[in-house]
Amino acid sequence: MPVEKDLKIAYKTLYDDKESLKALHLYDEILKNSPTNLTALIFKAACLEKLYFGYSDWHNNVTMENAKGLLDKALITAEGRGDRSKIALVNFRYFVHFFNNKNYEQARSYFEKAKKFGYADDTLTLWENRLQTKLNKMNKKQKDTITKNTVSPVENTEDKIDDLIPHVAAVSPSGNEIDLQDLPGFRVDWYQSSTSVTISLFTANPPECKDKVKVEISPNDKRTLSVSYEVPKTGSEFQYNVKLSQEVHLQPASLNVFSRKLEITLNKVDKVQWKNLEGDTVKEVSNSPEIGKNSGHSACTSAAEESSKEKLSYPSSSKKRIDWSKLDIDEEAGQEDAGSPDAFFQKLYAGADPDTKRAMMKSFVESNGTSLSTDWEDVSKGTVKTSPPEGMEPKHW
């Protein structure tokens, strides 16, 4: 297999499939045969950084030292070849490395070098704004510290010096003092209506309030979303970056913070149904009808889905067999109870396309009310299993 194809597979595994460890092994294989392959060196370092921040087993100094060592080797190789684009990319990865470790001054140095060598990316403006915000905050803290620790004539100088030591440790970029149990591991869920998409970020360490959260949409492509906030207690930073499958308006429609999640609602630029939250899926959905119109199946239905429509009758605990693909959505939609406490789900259901409504009804009925899905392509493949809450078991009568 050509090395270019191996590199594409490894990159997809890292950023699209989000399987950092698998991607690390793929880059290792490439480097066995091509020890100075610049792309493999650069993105193997990225794999290690993602593992460092995502898994406690990898959260140690050795991981980060190895990542930096790979970047050092990549920079020497790129400079030896005179490859300006790769020199720019390595400097940008240095910037990300030091930014994530809270060494913002060092990060700024590499950011300027990356721009000097012509690094260009849709997220560059977002990164620059975030860096400037961090530098401003750091400078303010330093000024406050100097003011607070000014020694008065009647105070003991030695005591004041001792007081400074804990503060220095607190802002140290090493990250060794962070409790691993407080690392903000999270999962992502989303749903959509005809005009908006709502993203839920589930995390064990949400921010104290929504004012602490920074949500940015890149004005360059209107698809690159960045969410960040300082994690309470640890001082580490929660970061979520994603390239959405379609354009959204720059200002979020709403932002809510709950005890275990953040919920961000974005207004769509084009009123089309999204097949995926992220990725380049413009071609796949550009011809689909507006959500909420009774147009039968969406025009972007895949060939595999079309070929499986004859097999959409599945067994359930009921004696009556249901062909969910023939469900009359209009009749069912009209039977909603206006006084139901589930007004939120009624609103979601009312604004959905026919396939989404089928998916919601099929998943809810077949799972005995324990699951609700809006993905018809997934739900149509078989019976939706009962998934009781953690600590409970289903009873079969």
pLDDT, tens only, 1-45: 688 999 999 999 998 888 999 999 999 999 999 999 999 999 999
Q: What local confidence, expressed as pLDDT, does residue 361 receive?
A: 83
CA distance 197 to 252: 10
Strand, coil or helix: 198: strand
Contact 10, 23 (CB under 8 A): yes
Dump pLDDT digits (tens) for 109-145. Answer: 999 999 999 998 888 888 888 899 888 888 887 776 6
Q: What local confidence, expressed as pLDDT, does residue 215 receive?
A: 92
Q: What is the largest CA-CA distance in the chain?
A: 89
Dump pLDDT digits (tens) for 349-377. Answer: 676 777 788 888 888 888 777 777 888 88
Contact 214, 127 (CB under 8 A): no
According to DSSP, the residues that pair with 227 across neighbouring strands are 215, 240
Q: Which residue has the higher pLDDT, 66 or 183?
A: 66
Q: What local confidence, expressed as pLDDT, does residue 177 receive?
A: 37
Token pair 């908006």 in the structure block, residue: 196
CA distance 66 to 45: 7
CA distance 83 to 68: 20
Q: Is the pLDDT of residue 46 over 90?
A: yes
Q: Is the pLDDT of residue 284 over 70?
A: no
CA distance 80 to 169: 38
* DSSP-derived secondary structure letter, 381: T
Phi and psi angles of residue 187, each rounded to the nearest 5 degrees, phi first? -130, 160
Mean of the per-residue pLDDT values of the chain: 75
Dihedral sign of CA atoms 92, 98, 99, 103 in order: negative
Q: What local confidence, expressed as pLDDT, does residue 148 receive?
A: 60
Q: Where are the domains of the chain?
A: 181-285, 303-379
According to DSSP, the residues that pair with 296 across neighbouring strands are none
CA distance 18 to 49: 13
- Taking residues 93-115, report their average pLDDT: 92
Q: Is the CATH number of domain 181-285 3.90.1150.10?
A: no
Poorest-pLDDT segment among 62-66, 218-222, 238-242: 238-242
Dump pLDDT digits (tens) for 48-70. Answer: 999 998 888 898 889 999 999 99
Q: What local confidence, expressed as pLDDT, does residue 301 receive?
A: 39
Total-model pTM: 0.44
- Taking residues 273-289, report their average pLDDT: 56
Q: Is the pLDDT of residue 180 over 90?
A: no
Q: Is the pLDDT of residue 195 over 60?
A: yes
pLDDT class of 308 with cuts at 50, 70, 90: very low
CA distance 1 to 370: 45
Q: Which residue has the higher pLDDT, 236 or 298?
A: 236
386: left (phi over 0), alpha (psi -120 to 50) or beta: beta
Contact 103, 134 (CB under 8 A): no
